Amino acid sequence: MVATAARLFRERGYDGGGVGELMAAAGFTHGGFYKHFRSKADLMAEASANGLSQTAARTEGVDPAEFVEKYPSREHRDGRRDGCTIAALSGDAARQSADVKTESAAGTENLLTALQARSDTPGDVDQRAARTMLIDMLAHSIGAIMLSRACPDDAPLADEILDVCRKEILTSLAHDNSDQPAARRTEA
């Protein structure tokens, strides 16, 4: 039920379907909903946690450059139902309950942690600079998907946004990982 709701929310937004429709999609009756949840808001928070943990799990072991090669892509843009919960629902989450916002923040932190694990090289950059770089990379990647999705599917701008952002993020990552002193990377 939660996994089905997570997919439907990513595809349609939190307000894109009622409890009855969500339950039918999961193979349950509308009345059964209240055996599991007090409200739709409770399901939204749990579905968010579920979707966000899936995103973090898919990112485990992926280095930042590999993440950027795949994340701001046409495939991800068009695969909203199975894509990243953050890119699909950040705009909606900002207008939801504190529980949904808390799950969104925790999920974003888990994604950053998963990416951090592969980006750390002892002595390469300090933790603060590495985190700054990852937050910038993630925000830029998510923004690219969101802007591209706001365009018509066949609009050249939709692909241009993804291509330009992917290239710029990868250039930034290469610059951040160059042999510059860590102090200069932090200032950039």
Distance CA 6, CA 173 (A): 31
Which residue ranges of the chain lie beneath pLDDT 50? 179-188
Q: Cα-atom radius of gyration of the chain, to the nearest Å?
A: 18
The contacts of residue 132 (CB under 8 Å, 6+ apart) are: 186
* 111 in Cβ contact with 138 (< 8 Å): yes
pLDDT for res 31:
76
| Structural domains in the chain plus CATH codes | 52-187 (1.10.357.10)
* 161 in Cβ contact with 144 (< 8 Å): yes
Distance CA 54, CA 136 (A): 21
pLDDT for res 75:
95
pLDDT for res 36:
83
* CA-to-CA dists, residue 143 to 4, 42, 84, 166, angstroms: 25, 27, 12, 11
Length of the chain: 188
pLDDT for res 165:
98
Query: pTM, whole model, 2 decimals?
Result: 0.84
Please name the residue that has the structure tokens 């952002």: 165
pLDDT for res 105:
95
